[in-house]
């Protein structure tokens, strides 16, 4: 999955083999948020074979559902560790999208999220944010995290797990070998001056495909 900020970047990512696009909505911090109108436009114009992951910072089930309705992605990615009751509520709403819960790997306690969320979601995504900070970081940090914890998470999870957090051409092979994720997610390290960099993106895809 590749986070993109415009329809032009969407087509660039698709042209080099990305099968999913990350669309970052309003966030408390970090690079690349785009408006709900732009997210919906992208979701309406990319090929149906390409998944669209709308990243939401909403934490209440009804607000997440409303955000999905405004943007119409194929998948909603919840970037905060929401309350378990809200996760159950969101599942009960039976939205016409896949639900991905982000877990930020700060320490081994991240594995507790598996039991908490697994019954109500379709997949996890492991990232390197710090949601507990005064100004939370929820992605796009360019930082890696402890892949041994991520590897243990993958082994224990009954649901597919995506890996994010500081991935680029120079480390993605090591990350995949260490974690064995279902898929990988890239953002800040394939950008130059905030723009998606075609050279970096191609190098990343080549590294992944050569495994």
**How do residues 150-176 score in pLDDT, each as one tens digit?**
999 999 999 999 999 999 999 999 999
Q: Would you state the structure tokens that stand for residue 75, as one six-digit string? A: 């998948």
What is the pLDDT confidence band of residue 75, given thresholds at 50, 70 and 90? very high
pLDDT given at position 90: 98
* Segments forming the whole domain that contains residue 52: 2-209
Q: What is the CATH number of the domain that holds 179?
A: 3.20.20.70
Give the list of residues 6+ apart from residue 126 with CB closer than 8 angstroms, or none.
102, 103, 104, 105, 110, 145, 150, 153, 161, 162, 163, 164, 165, 179, 181
Q: Nearest CA to 73 among 124, 123, 39, 27?
A: 39
pLDDT given at position 48: 93
* Distance of alpha carbon 46 from alpha carbon 13, whole angstroms: 11
The total of structural domains in the chain comes to 1
Mean pLDDT across 143-155: 97
Mean pLDDT across 8-13: 96
Q: Would you state the structure tokens that stand for residue 129, as one six-digit string? A: 């944010």
Q: What is the mean pLDDT of the chain?
A: 95
User: Regarding beta strands 195-196 and 191-192, do their DSSP bridges make them parallel or antiparallel, or are they unpaired?
Assistant: antiparallel
Q: Would you state the structure tokens that stand for residue 124, as one six-digit string? A: 């996890």
140, pLDDT greater than 90: no
6, pLDDT greater than 90: yes
Structural contact between residues 120 and 64, judged by C-beta atoms closer than 8 angstroms = no
Q: Nearest CA to 161 among 145, 192, 184?
A: 184
What is the pLDDT confidence band of residue 134, given thresholds at 50, 70 and 90? confident
The helix or strand, by DSSP H or E, that contains position 152, with its residue range, turns out to be helix 147-156
């Amino acid at each position: 999955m590749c986070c993109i900020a415009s329809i032009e970047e969407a087509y660039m990512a698709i042209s080099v083999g990305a099968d999913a696009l990350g669309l970052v909505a309003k966030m408390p911090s970090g690079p690349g948020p785009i408006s709900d109108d732009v997210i919906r436009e992208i979701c309406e114009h990319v090929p149906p074979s390409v998944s669209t992951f709308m990243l939401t910072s909403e934490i209440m089930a009804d607000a997440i559902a409303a955000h999905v309705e405004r943007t119409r992605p194929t998948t909603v990615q919840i970037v905060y560790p929401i309350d378990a009751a809200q996760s159950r509520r969101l599942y009960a709403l039976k939205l016409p999208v896949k639900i991905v819960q982000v877990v930020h790997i700060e320490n081994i306690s991240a594995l507790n999220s598996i039991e908490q969320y697994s019954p109500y979601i379709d997949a996890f995504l492991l990232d390197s944010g710090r949601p507990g900070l005064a100004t939370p970081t929820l992605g796009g940090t360019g930082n890696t995290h402890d892949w041994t914890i991520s590897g243990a998470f993958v082994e224990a999870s009954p649901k597919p797990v995506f890996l994010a957090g500081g991935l680029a051409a120079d480390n993605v092979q090591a990350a995949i070998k260490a974690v064995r994720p279902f898929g990988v997610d890239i953002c800040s390290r394939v950008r130059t001056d905030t723009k998606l960099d075609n050279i970096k993106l191609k190098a990343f895809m080549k590294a992944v495909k050569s495994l």
